[in-house]
Each structure stands twice: as C-alpha cells, then as structure tokens.
C-alpha cells in the first residue's frame, strides 16, 4: 500500500520509485538531497502526490511523540518545498545512510490524514501502492483491491483482489497450499522446504533475508561476567552454529561474521568464531570461572523467522555444555522482547536485560550504520544513539559517528571495516550467529515476482495468474 522515493527491485539493486530523480549535493559540510517527484502519482482516494505530502510525512517521522524512528531524521535540518513536485532536504551534518536507506520517507496523504485523523487513518489507510485497503479482521485476514489508477503500468499486479490469510500453524499453511485453498505461502516451515520443492504443481524461491541475528549480552551491568572479553569469546566459541543451521534450520540459514556479503563494506577476510568448546572452557578458566557461572537467559519465542524459538534453545544448550548455565531460561514474546532489549532512561521502571538474550537487527543487503548506531554506540537518547546498546567505547562512538557523516563511499568503507574489526575482536554488541533464509512457495498457475524491498521479498508488487 505504501511506497518510498527509492526502493530495491527484484535484482536487489536500487531503483528510483516515487522519486523520478534525485541528487546528493555538497554545501560545504551540510549536504542537500534534491528530489524531483514523479508526476501523475495518485493516492488511493484520488489526491495527487505532491511535495507537501512528503513534508507532512517528514514532520511526523521526526516527531518522537508519534514516531519510534525519529532519530533517523536527526541529521535533517529543514525540509524545503521548491514546487509541488520538487523538494530539498537540508542536512545540518552529513548522513550517508539517508541515501543508502532509500531516502527514508514514506508517502502519506496530508489532506486525507488531517481530515480523518490518526484513528480514521488507521481504520481506512490510504497510500500510493498497487493495492488499496478493503477490509481487515485482526489476527485473521486482510483484503485489498487493485488500485486501477496505480502509476506504474509495467510493474503491477494482474488480478483484482488480494486476500491475505493469517495461518500461524505450519502444517495447516502447507496443506492449504497443496489443496489449493491458498495460492501462495511465505515463511515455508523449514522442515517442509525440500518436500515442496519436489511437489508437482508448486514453485519455490529461497532468498536471503536482511535480518541479522545475534545473542545480546549484558556488558553494561557492573559486576556481570559478560564484561570480561574472555567470557564473551568463550560464549562465541561455545556455539556450533553450523550444526544448528543444518539440524534445526534444515539448511535455511547463513553464517556471518559482522557483515553479510551484500552489505556495504563487507570484508571477506573476516570469519565467524569457530566452534571450539575446549577453547571456551580454557577462556572461562582464564577469567576465573573454571566452574562456569549462572546467568539469566531470554529466548525470543515469537517466530519472526523460521524456527527462531528452537534456534535460541539450541544456542543456550550449547552455552550450558561449557558451563554457562541459563538460570533461568525465560521465553519472551515480541512486545516483551522489544522492551527487554531496549535501553531505558535512568529512573525507568522497565526491566533491564541482565544476562543473554536472543536478538536481531536487520542490515543485510543494506547499510550497517543504523544497526550499529542502535546496538553498538553508547546509549545517548538525546542524540538518537544506542537504543539497544549495551556497549560504551569512545573509539567506537567516534568511528560510528564519523562514518555516518562521511559522504565519500571509499572513506566510509575503511571506517566500517575498522569498526567491524574492533566489534569482532571484542565480541561487542553481542555474538553474531546467522542470517535466516526465507522460502516462498506458490502454485504453478500463479505468476509471482519476489521484490527485495520493502517486505523482504514478500511484497505483492507483481502477482497474478498465468
């Protein structure tokens, strides 16, 4: 339903979308992003898309009272409308990630939103995308109708109605595809991938996600064993991630050290920690913990990625095998997990993560800067840093801030690789584990083209019957 100025196409490459063109111009140390909008784009209610709509979206996204991502607009000083189809973003300082992150604005219909209010917009949302909202039953289904006036005549659906059903039970979802009750399923359960690949009449696609999983550690709590780098390295060597990918994920996962192969700044020379339980015990003994230690462990149980709960259980079992004992091992659902991994201002009554927690932060195929600003920089809520960070290291803070301001890609790569080197050596911002793969399956009378962004290959930009 909703679209951005720039997006990634089926090949993963960036393509101008609602922006017909844009440029990043230098004004001393204050860059300007100059955007020319595509003319003829309409919202689902018939209103034309103009620069005022993006100004409205910008003002909402930068307001911390209504936006969880206000910090992502922190470097923008002002929004200038040149004419209805031309605007400029003036930056107080460089922010290279604004460009690499698809210009970070979603089209919102200003007139409609102000007319119906926030509650009215939630009830009847309006965007510019190929599908317009029809109806929704919470936790059951959502229906869309084709938007006849959709601007992109080349890349659009070829059916008139889209009915998305929520089927959380894995076997029920697979059975619905086999019987024809549904035409496509996403997040194919990992145990069913090979079966569906061999099933006559069904096509599949297995693709990299942009999600990067790791184990967050309470290095910010004084007296915690996790403050000792030897303990962190011991935990990193304790996990046989290759075995977990093979046996728990049925091969539906990829190892990564700090950056994925399609990340900006990827260094192929950097390798993940190897499984070495003997080394783990040796490191624990060197840290004065020859008998191991007890630590609270928190396992994310909402299956945002296939078999996520089971992966966490396996990782924490490997911890126990070398003497890092989870006491207790607690399961946490999505909302509780969000609150647990976040840092809160002093005086807050929110529970602080005090041990080890399964966690994630997407940056695969994109720019890692935002992920590191949130998970690796010292907690600094006033400046929008460290929202999920248990790390405080001045050298890293400086590098993270400098590379984000640097608009020269080659200089940024050098700084990003230096950050990755320190992060990897010191096991900071957690233990990197794997990047999930996602498999989508559909009946062979359906034409479906997976698009990289948004929706991480699940988007229904091009879908129809053959």
pLDDT per residue over 187-211, tens digit each? 899 999 999 999 999 999 999 888 8
**Residues 182 and 165 sit within 8 Å (Cβ to Cβ):** yes
**Tens digit of each residue's pLDDT (9 = 90 or more) over 94-115:** 888 898 888 989 999 999 999 9
Lowest mean pLDDT among 245-249, 362-366, 371-375: 362-366
Section 238-254 average pLDDT: 97
| Two tokens, residue 114 | 């102000």
| Two tokens, residue 190 | 């990992």
Determine the Cα–Cα distance for residues 20 and 13; give it in Å rounded to an integer: 16
Angle 250-255-257 from CA coordinates, rounded to 5°: 165
All residues at 6 or more sequence positions from 65 whose CB lies less than 8 Å from its CB, including other chains: none
Q: Which fold has domain 6-110?
A: Dipeptide-binding Protein; domain 1 (3.90.76)
Section 111-134 average pLDDT: 97
Give CA torsion, residues 158, 11, 436, 225, to 10 deg: -130
Q: Is the dihedral of CA 369, 374, 379, 380 positive or negative?
A: positive
Task: For tokens 């209103």, name the residue.
Answer: 47
**Whole-number Cα distances in Å, 321 to 27, 200, 216, 230, 354:** 57, 43, 19, 17, 21
**Residues 416 and 201 sit within 8 Å (Cβ to Cβ):** no
| Two tokens, residue 136 | 């929704």
> Reduced to 3 states, what is the DSSP secondary structure of residue 456?
coil
CATH classification for the domain delimited by 115-205+450-465, as one of 3.40.50.740, 3.40.190.10, 3.60.21.10, 3.30.70.360: 3.40.190.10
Angle 289-257-299 from CA coordinates, rounded to 5°: 60
Residue 419 CB-half CA count within 13 A: 32
Section 368-385 average pLDDT: 89
Q: Pick 15 or 71 by higher pLDDT.
A: 15
CATH classification for the domain delimited by 213-436, as one of 3.40.190.80, 1.10.150.170, 3.40.50.10860, 3.10.105.10: 3.10.105.10
Domain ranges for the chain: 6-110, 115-205+450-465, 213-436
pLDDT in the model for residue 100: 83
pLDDT in the model for residue 202: 97
| Phi, psi (degrees; rounded to nearest 5) at 171 | -65, -35
Q: What 8-state DSSP symbol labels residue 365?
A: T
**Tens digit of each residue's pLDDT (9 = 90 or more) over 422-449:** 999 999 999 999 999 999 999 999 999 9
């Amino acid at each position: 339903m909703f679209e951005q100025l720039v997006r990634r196409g089926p090949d993963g490459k960036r393509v101008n979308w609602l922006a017909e063109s844009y440029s990043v111009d230098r004004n001393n140390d204050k860059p300007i992003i100059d955007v020319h909008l595509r003319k003829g784009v309409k919202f689902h209610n018939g209103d034309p898309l103009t620069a005022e709509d993006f100004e409205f979206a910008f003002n909402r996204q930068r307001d911390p009272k209504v936006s969880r991502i206000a910090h992502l607009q922190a470097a923008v000083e002002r929004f200038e409308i040149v004419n209805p189809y031309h605007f400029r973003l003036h930056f107080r300082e460089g922010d290279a990630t604004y460009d690499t992150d698809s210009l970070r604005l979603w089209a919102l219909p200003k007139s409609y939103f102000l007319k119906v209010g926030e509650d009215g917009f939630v009830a009847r949302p309006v965007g510019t995308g190929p599908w317009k909202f029809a109806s929704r039953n919470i936790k059951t289904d959502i229906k869309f109708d084709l938007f006849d006036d959709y601007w992109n005549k080349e890349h659009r659906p070829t059916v008139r109605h889209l009915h998305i059903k929520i089927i959380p039970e894995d076997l029920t979802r697979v059975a619905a595809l086999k019987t024809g009750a549904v035409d496509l399923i996403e997040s194919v359960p990992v145990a069913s991938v090979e079966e569906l690949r061999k099933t006559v009449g069904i096509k599949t696609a297995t693709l990299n996600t942009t999600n990067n999983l790791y184990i967050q550690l309470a290095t910010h709590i004084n007296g915690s064993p996790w403050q000792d780098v030897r303990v962190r390295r011991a935990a990193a060597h304790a996990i046989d991630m290759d075995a977990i990918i093979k046996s728990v994920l049925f091969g539906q996962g990829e190892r990564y050290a700090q950056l994925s192969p399609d990340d900006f700044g990827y260094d192929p020379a950097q390798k993940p920690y190897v499984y070495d339980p003997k080394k783990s015990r040796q490191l624990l003994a060197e840290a004065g913990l020859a008998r191991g230690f007890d630590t609270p462990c928190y396992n994310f149980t909402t299956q945002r990625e296939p078999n996520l709960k089971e992966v966490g259980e396996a990782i924490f079992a490997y911890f126990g095998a070398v003497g890092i004992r989870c006491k207790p091992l607690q399961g946490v659902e999505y909302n509780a997990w969000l609150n647990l991994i976040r840092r809160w201002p002093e005086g807050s009554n929110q529970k602080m993560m005090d041990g080890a927690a399964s966690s994630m932060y997407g940056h695969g195929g994109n720019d890692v800067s935002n992920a590191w600003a949130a998970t690796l920089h010292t907690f600094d809520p006033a400046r929008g840093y460290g929202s999920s960070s248990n790390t405080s290291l001045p050298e890293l803070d400086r590098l993270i801030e400098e590379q984000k301001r640097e608009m020269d890609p080659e200089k940024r790569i050098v700084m990003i690789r230096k950050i990755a080197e320190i992060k990897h050596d010191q096991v900071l911002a957690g233990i990197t584990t794997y990047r999930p793969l996602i498999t989508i399956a559909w009946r062979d009378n359906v034409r479906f083209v997976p698009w990289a962004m948004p929706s991480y290959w699940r988007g229904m930009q091009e879908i129809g019957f053959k």
